[in-house]
Structure 1
Amino acid sequence: MDYRNKQSASSLPMLALYDEDPSTLAQSIVAFLNTYVGPPFHSAQRTSSALDLLRPLSRNIEGVVSIFLRRFWRTFLNLASQVPHVHEAQQKLVLLLKDLNSYSRPNEPQVKFWNGLPGLQSAINDCWQEPTPYEEDYTPYERWVNLHSFASRLYGINLLSGYKLAIKALRRALEDNESQDNMTKRCRIKAAAQWMLYSAGVLFTLMYSRPTENDRQELQSWRFTGRDVFSVNRWNFWKERFTYYGTVIGGEAVAAANSMSRIDGSRPMQGLGALPYSNY
């Protein structure tokens, strides 16, 4: 089944800007993305070309490029967070960035403005803020999980350095003993699960590497410190916790545990049937 047929079976609402007075740049980005993930389903190449035309002509004026990139990625990530984490349009956006990463204009083949996706890493770090327990509806929780899914997919194909975001999400969901309301707990588990669904292989390899001193300080927990910040012991603990939560809430916790088992070669969870994605 091609993307268009899937799309008709799994409708995606139009991506939208919620600013009172959105900039021309933001309006252009949302227009291009809507015609990429929705009808008329423009190609990644065509959409990359359209997005590239938004960049400033001069790269020599101090601050112009950095301001553009900050605004560009802020809008792009805001829109990506609106795409449900289980929707195929998430992967389409990842493929778009993969294409944009290598894009150059036909008349300037030597200019690789987007190589390395400049500004994306800092933009994700800037917007990485968990919803509070006092949100008025589910939307902030849903978008938080969606953003984790998008970042994990990028990390899984080496378009983003996401290991710190991943470990912090896993630590918060699976190692933290603080009291949490049910909504927050489910959100954290679903967010953490995205890293095992889309970048488990990269994370498993990381567990065999030696953490830097900065990693030891930033990524430690009361349970895992020093060398164990990256360790098979930590990996196994995460899998045990996902397995437990899989028996309680199912959904992504089951899928995450099974994904980890496929990567490390152990037996997947048995007797839980299909993997329904539970609601909050």
Structure 2
Amino acid sequence: MADEKINLQRLRDEGQATEEGEKFVTIFESAFEVISEETLEDETKRVVSELQKLVSPELPAKYKDDLFDDIWEALIGIARHVHYRHLGQSLLLNVFKELNLAEPWRNLPNLGQCMRDNWIDPTFEPVEGEDETYSPSEWLNLNSFAARLFGAGIVGWVNFPIWQLRHGLEEDASPGPDTDCRVAAASEWLIQAGPNLLRRCLLRTNFNEAQKRSYRAGAIYSGHAGLNLERWGFWKRRLGEVQSVVDEEAAASVDEAVKTMTMAAAALAN
């Protein structure tokens, strides 16, 4: 739950972190143990300072690339274990807001590709040879973290929100755990990144053919691919339709998503 203790021991038990990745995990683990609304700012500063020591700007490029790959794998492992409403999610976001301001962390090099390699939706049929997937709760936690980074403008990955919104809101929905998970993940992107998504819908960015295929419409949405106001409006209407199909937790997220979309539109209108 949102106030439960964050347990990262599994990352060590299953050998999911390299030596450098484990240092990264330990830095956050110590912060999670003492984090509160009162200590959030101080813990953010402390973690940023420790991580700046972990990756020196003077490192050779090849070593730096390998080190970041280890760090991102550890980060994804951490994010999946931090409840989507836990204060630890705010700590993760605040730390990377600060790190993103200066080299060598600026633009979070190769995080997008590492995230893509780990983007394995547990509601899809498993693919032979694919890495381990996530539990529904872990998947929602990871989506929350990715959405927070996108919502804050730290990253520009539009593929992840489009995929999750298509999967959660543009396909037929029948009651069950998979639908609960899909709708909750889609809602989380709107909750954490609604204003940024709306701004991008207004831009009507031109995508190349490969992107159009990737950002295509789902089965029950007949509009244009990519991000646009037509699709935004469809998502909002669809949230109202699926709310009665999902469980109580996902329905609460739907409520919050609709409110965020309404507030985002009102803010742009003023």
TM-score (norm 2): 0.81
Question: How far 1:181 sits from its partner (Å)?
Answer: 7.0
Question: How far 1:191 sits from its partner (Å)?
Answer: 0.6
Q: Do 1:133 and 1:181's aligned partners in 2 also have CA atoms closer than 8 Å? A: no
Aligned CA distance change for structure 1 residues 21 and 168 (closer, same or farther; 3 Å) = closer
Tell whether 2:171 aligns with 1:171.
Answer: no
Residue 271 of structure 1: aligned partner: none
- Aligned runs of 1:189-268 on 2, under 5 Å? 189-214=183-208, 215-221=211-217, 222=219, 223-226=221-224, 229-249=226-246, 250-265=251-266
Q: Do 2:89 and 2:145's aligned partners in 1 also have CA atoms closer than 8 Å? A: yes
Distance in 2, matches of 1:224 and 1:118, equals: 36
Q: Do 2:17 and 2:74's aligned partners in 1 also have CA atoms closer than 8 Å? A: no
- Aligned runs of 1:1-280 on 2, under 5 Å? 10-16=3-9, 17=11, 18-20=13-15, 22-39=17-34, 43-55=43-55, 58-60=58-60, 63-102=62-101, 112-132=103-123, 140-177=135-172, 182-214=176-208, 215-221=211-217, 222=219, 223-226=221-224, 229-249=226-246, 250-265=251-266
Residue 130 of structure 2: aligned partner: none
More helix by share: 2
Aligned CA distance change for structure 1 residues 70 and 224 (closer, same or farther; 3 Å) = farther
Letter of the 1:231 partner, please give it: N
Question: How far 1:196 sits from its partner (Å)?
Answer: 0.8
Which fold has the larger relative contact order, with Cα–Cα distance below 8 Å and residues 6 or more apart in sequence? Answer: 2
Moved over 4 A (4+): 132-135
Q: Which has the larger radius of gyration?
A: 1
Q: Deviations over 1:202-227 (max 9, x none)?
A: 1111112223232433212153454x
Question: How far 1:121 sits from its partner (Å)?
Answer: 1.5
Letter of the 1:89 partner, please give it: G
Question: How far 1:52 sits from its partner (Å)?
Answer: 2.3
Question: How far 1:74 sits from its partner (Å)?
Answer: 0.6
Note the residue ranges of structure 1 that are not aligned, 5 or more in a row: 1-6, 104-111, 267-280
Note the residue ranges of structure 2 that are not aligned, 5 or more in a row: 127-132
Q: Do 1:174 and 1:238's aligned partners in 2 also have CA atoms closer than 8 Å? A: yes
Distance in 2, matches of 1:124 and 1:28, equals: 20
Name the Cα RMSD after superposition: 2.8
Distance in 1, matches of 2:16 and 2:111, equals: 24
Q: Do 1:56 and 1:64's aligned partners in 2 also have CA atoms closer than 8 Å? A: no
Distance in 2, matches of 1:262 and 1:44, equals: 28
Letter of the 1:216 partner, please give it: K
Q: Do 2:147 and 2:188's aligned partners in 1 also have CA atoms closer than 8 Å? A: yes
Distance in 2, matches of 1:96 and 1:37, equals: 13
Residue 273 of structure 1: aligned partner: none
TM-score (norm 1): 0.78
Q: Do 2:82 and 2:89's aligned partners in 1 also have CA atoms closer than 8 Å? A: yes
Distance in 2, matches of 1:102 and 1:81, equals: 25
Distance in 1, matches of 2:76 and 2:101, equals: 19
Distance in 1, matches of 2:257 and 2:57, equals: 44
Distance in 2, matches of 1:219 and 1:139, equals: 23
Q: Do 1:216 and 1:225's aligned partners in 2 also have CA atoms closer than 8 Å? A: no
Task: Provide the secondary structure at the position in 2 that maps to 1:199.
Answer: helix
Task: Provide the secondary structure at the position in 1 that maps to 2:120.
Answer: coil
